[in-house]
Structure 1
Amino acid sequence: MCMGCIGETKMRKWIVMLTLLTVMVIGTVPVAAQTGTIPEVASANSSFSTLVAAVQAAGLIDDLSARGPFTVFAPTNGAFGTLLNELGVTANDLFADTDLLTEVLLYHVVAGEVRAADILGASLPLTVTTLGGAELVVNVAGGRVSLNNGRATVEIADIDASNGVIHVIDNVLLPPTTTAGDAPAVASTGTIVDVLAGNPNFSTLVAAVTAAGLADELSARGSFTVFAPTNGAFATLLGNLGVTADQLLADRALLTSVLLYHVLPGEYRAADILAANLPLTLETLNGADVVINFNGQRVTINGSTASVEIPNVVASNGVIHIIDNVLLPQ
């Protein structure tokens, strides 16, 4: 038997194992260098057509074509689609507010070239300052590089451009001034119930409101603030409870109690919350209190139970803040 061959075989196995480990942690095999600037590389990939359109609408093509280098966390078309669904708006609606668009886009850009290996070699979590001036928190979770406590995950790392590097991410990042501050209101037609019913991400919440007989109450003229859990938030709750949606909706008294715990009398926009003396304790229509705070990145409710993903979705009778978990009365 060839001893040298055995050693060579073992070495190959180690190389394969190390390569697989790199893929698991970083999210991809390193990609070959691309010709052209960051906007040119993005323009050549149909998966970034929405991002390129956004950069053009914000007038940032020249900035991102400069010598740099830059690190860009690039959301895919699918990531923008998710954001638009959450907001209940079209791409044209989003692009119309160029100030907001610029702020959001620059939150995806870091001065200097930060590769996946730099992130893994850093003391984590790593806080970096974006070109917009706001900070971004980078970490490793679940075997992948994550941003802002899981808001986005790197799907493909280290796509080279002539003036920097691109990391592909699965969600659009929203700067703290947008996710927690005075985010420009997303105006929608109709009552709170109408707005929720018009967005498929809230089909479970709408079914719950209907089952509890609260549709008329939340369509009344008064002014309300609703913390609206997404379908994903309800799915997490059902999994934790080990019940089905039908079982949850069957207990009308419990359902009513839980839903009203997500509603405040009066209109509280994100700016109102941040201007208050935090933590802020408010009584819900359920009669129980919620405690609202700010963790430096997002508005949080009852500690880390839930956080606001999208604030200030305006309806004719109040405002909706989209949250990532269902609140349970204390």
Structure 2
Amino acid sequence: MATEPSTKAKAWAIFDRIVADAAPSGEHSNPWVKDEGGALSYEPDYDTLIKLLGVPLYLKAPTTTGVPALALDVWLSYELRRSGFDADAAWPRPSAPRILPGPIVSLLNKVTAKERDALWKRLQAKTPPTGAAASSANILGKNYLKQVDVVMSNWAAGPELLISTKRMDSSFGKNAANRVEESYGDAKNLRLRHPLAALGFVYGLRSTIFDESPDKAEWLIDLLQKLGREDDAYHAVCLIVIEYGSHLSVEESDDDQGDGEDPLAEAGVDGSEDSDDDIEEHVEQSDVEVALSSLPPVHLPWGKVPVDLRPDRFIAEMVRRVIDATPVNMHTEARSRRARASLR
């Protein structure tokens, strides 16, 4: 008797379909535009973000599953592909396995079809070869390993882009500030070992904080802005305020972490590898179709977000730093897309 796919497996199937529909045949729209004065700016695909944010609401996935925060990770990696970075280089990838080093991709492209099928079968198994494929990326900082949510890295250059995401939909008074304070320490840990990598932090916050704890919201926004100004912390910080109906809320435990992450596991001290819960079971396409036609409405009230914390500024800065830190013969498509920016 077939087992029911996990909530995360269902989410991945819907996420993958959303980003595939947004880039037909793998062709992504160019996000770069210029105004009449020639100033370059980045236009994120917010329609796709809204759909992705609706998935955990449709699945009624609590934050402990990691699915709500995963919606942000999927969107950011999708935006990196829109920017012109290689689809296999921006993790999580748009298909399983989510973490696949560049040399493995090159090998798959150079072997025979029979060998490729055998390799894919091995890479997509429940226990793939260590270091060859994974469901999450653990990066060594100065003092400890850190699970980083959105990554661009290769053997030649090392980590080029590292983005950590956090999400908080409830328990603002207890947990909202803690997540930011923890992330400051994580930033120093990563920055000290990888000073040339573009380092960013994205915080997803439910809009109800502005009604329930307006003082906490003001303090939190101020802290996020300061995090992006520190010389030894993040190069850029982003805030995404998420608004949805109260009838869509999922009950959370009082000790909820806010994003489904285990700090000890992230630091690599519990000895665990990817669990079977991370294996992406088969999900029927008919179930995906039903989900896509039933996604709950989500709104993004940008009036609550300061200009310097909005995604357009954030992604543009991440891309700029990656390009500026590499020779001109690397990331040629990302450079070309900026050069081909259309007039607004």
Q: Based on CA coordinates, which of the two structures has the bigger radius of gyration?
A: 1
Coarse TM-score class (shorter-chain normalised) = under 0.3
TM norm structure 2: 0.22
More helix by share: 2
User: Which of the pair has the greater relative contact order for Cα pairs under 8 Å at 6+ separation?
Assistant: 2
Name the structure with the higher strand share: 1
